[in-house]
Amino acid sequence: MMSARIPLVVATLSILLLSACTGTPEVREAAEVSSLDAQLPDTTETMPLDPNLPVILAYGDSLTAGHNVERDRSYPAQLQDRLRALGYGYQVVNHGNSGDTTAGGIARLEGALAVNPEIVVLAFGGNDGLQGRPIESMRGNLEAMINAFKNIDSQIVLAGITLPRNYGPDYIRDFENVYVELAEEHEVALIPFFLEGLVDLELLDAPDATLAESVRYMQSDGTHPTGEGYTIVAETVLDAISPYLSK
């Protein structure tokens, strides 16, 4: 099961996400106005790799790419800084592309495998859900990516995400369960909720608090973290990959 805190966090973020929505409960109609797919240029990192350093591959969509923040404020860049500060000799490759669904991840998989990552943080699915795509298709694509990285002996961390509450309890339940089930079946590590900690729940409950104060780590679109928010995401990822790190 996903963390019990997730519905409250997502309900709060949904206030922003749904500001442009029609209010309809139909998944596909909601998807038309609340999609991560921005049809942006490919932002995949192309800088040369150091052959002497093992690769940590950040593979995902706009939440990985760092949509609308400076490149050095994305979570992969901040994770790189944290690893260096802790004395770890790894290079973090940002292979995030804004707008990607899991099908987009499959389409780019050859390039991702080519960097021969020791560790992969696999963070796809948000766009599939927001577009109301079939759960089984999303699951199959994630599973194919997991298997491909396992075949080259990468350690995998699967990053879970959830959806605004107007997508309906059945679709949301099935969507969330994909991450939990795949992590169990393939014995890979799981981050239950990639954006955990980006809403200040205690402040949200304070009588004089405003929504803006409570979600200060999120951009105005209610979907993407700010640079400060990505600092939190980087710490979440660091905790998840720590068992696989060595000096």
CATH number at residue 151: 3.40.50.1110
Residue 20 lies in a domain: yes
**How many Cα atoms within 13 Å fall on the side-chain side of residue 151?**
10
Q: How many domains does the chain have?
A: 1
Q: What is the pLDDT of residue 23?
A: 33
| Cβ pair 106, 95 in contact under 8 A | no
Per the annotation, the verdict on 221 as an active-site residue is yes
Residue 29 lies in a domain: yes
Q: What is the pLDDT of residue 40?
A: 41
Q: What is the pLDDT of residue 26?
A: 37
Q: What is the pLDDT of residue 45?
A: 54
Walking along the chain (247 residues) 10 residues at a time, the average pLDDT comes out as: 54 46 35 38 63 96 94 96 97 95 96 96 96 96 98 98 88 96 98 88 68 81 91 98 96
Q: What is the pLDDT of residue 100?
A: 95
The catalytic residue among 14, 34, 62, 98 is: 62
| Residue ranges making up the domain that contains 187 | 6-39+50-244
Residue 44 lies in a domain: no
Per the annotation, the verdict on 67 as an active-site residue is no
Residue 132 lies in a domain: yes
Residue 152's CB is within 10 A of a number of other CB atoms, namely: 12
Residue 45 lies in a domain: no
Residue 130 lies in a domain: yes
Q: What is the pLDDT of residue 8?
A: 53
| Cβ pair 225, 233 in contact under 8 A | yes
Q: What is the pLDDT of residue 164?
A: 83
The catalytic residue among 81, 174, 200, 221 is: 221
Cα distance between residue 95 and residue 148, in whole Å:
16
Per the annotation, the verdict on 224 as an active-site residue is yes
Torsion of CA 224, 225, 227, 228, to 10 degrees: 170
